[in-house]
Amino acid sequence: MRWKGRRSSRNIEDRRMQSGMGRGGKAGGIGGVGIIAVLVIGYFLGVDVTPLLQSSGGGQVASQGGEITEADKQAGEFVSVVLGDTEEVWAEIFNDQVGRPYKPATLVLFKGGTQSPCGGASGASGPFYCPADKKAYLDTEFFTTLSRRMGASGDFAAAYVVAHEIAHHVQNELGILGQANKIRQQVSQAESNAISVRIELQADCLSGVWARYAQARFNSLEKGDLKEAINAAKQIGDDTLQRNAGRRPNPHSFTHGTSEQRQRWFTTGYEKATVQGCDTFSTDRL
């Protein structure tokens, strides 16, 4: 991915020098995830890494914080540029397709742990979007987890993660996310899960829209970049995650969609390049 030399976003809140969960931190503010020891990678990314951490002797979340390494600095620069790309792209799309200005999200960088109005987060809890403060939260160490533990390497795979969280902000700005989550609170668990799948697949689709516009605007994609994003979507499909955890896939427990669905909706967004083309709530075929 060609990213160096482009505008960095000013909407970055860097908490990495002051990170640390503190006592009593919880991650249950988003979707009932529960305490941080559950080790869920992001409510909206939805990757439970407990089996992966257990296999490597982990299982507890450490508050790291502390010194910012050179790798941390470069990851922060990368995220800032990708966020800047999303701001320019979604401003253009909102102007052309929605008919009103786009109000960008703030992205919080943390290291080890932090707090949000939606609850606590740790490096293991991974990236998530909090509608309450309209901020996305990211420990860039997640990119290492994505690459080394989950088989989704590459800078555009990392960019897809950022774009996916910003896509939830787009949903929030359009009023979709609030309405969907309100309905989820009023229905059964199975129905809530089904709505969650539609939310996540739409975010994947909107990520594809962003990728198409980013390529047209910045010529940012290199050979193999789309495959990196599509592979990342595959690796975080509910069925693939459950198989990799040694469990038989249980569709009733899916909250983010199968690998095939996530790949297909990202590709749909890239090909159609419209917000309307990402209507996962009206279709009978997810």
Q: How far apart are CA 116 and CA 106, in angstroms?
A: 12
Smallest CA-to-CA distance from 172 within 204, 203, 209 is with 203
Q: Count the residues in the chain.
A: 286
pTM for this predicted structure: 0.84
Q: Tokens in use for 224? A: 């193999």
Distance CA 93, CA 99 (A): 9
Give me the amino acid identity at 104. P
Q: What's the average pLDDT block by block, 10 residues per block, for the chain (286 residues)?
A: 92 79 34 31 39 36 59 91 97 97 96 87 78 93 83 90 97 96 94 96 98 95 94 92 91 94 97 97 93
Which three-class secondary structure state does DSSP give residue 46?
coil
Phi-psi region of 97 (alpha: psi -120 to 50; beta: other; left: phi over 0): alpha
DSSP three-state, residue 167: helix
Torsion from C-alpha of 109, 39, 242, 79, nearest 10 degrees: 10
Q: Note the pLDDT of residue 66.
A: 60
Report the relative pairing of strands 135-138 and 106-109 from DSSP bridges: parallel
- Please name the amino acid found at residue 170: V
Angle 120-121-125 (CA atoms, 0-180°, nearest 5)?
140
Q: How far apart (Å, rounded) are the C-alpha atoms in residues 100 and 91?
A: 9
Q: How far is CA 209 from CA 3, 119, 130, in A?
A: 18, 30, 22
| pLDDT value, residue 54 | 36
Neighbours of 190 (CB within 10 A): 9
d(C-alpha 1, C-alpha 219), whole Å: 9
The span from the CA of 48 to the CA of 256, in Å, is 12
Q: How far is CA 113 from the centre of its chain?
A: 17
Tell me, what's the pLDDT at 170?
Answer: 98
Q: For residue 92, what are the contacts with CB-CB under 8 A and spacing of at least 6?
A: 213, 217
Distance in angstroms (rounded) separating the CA atoms of residues 147 and 232 = 9
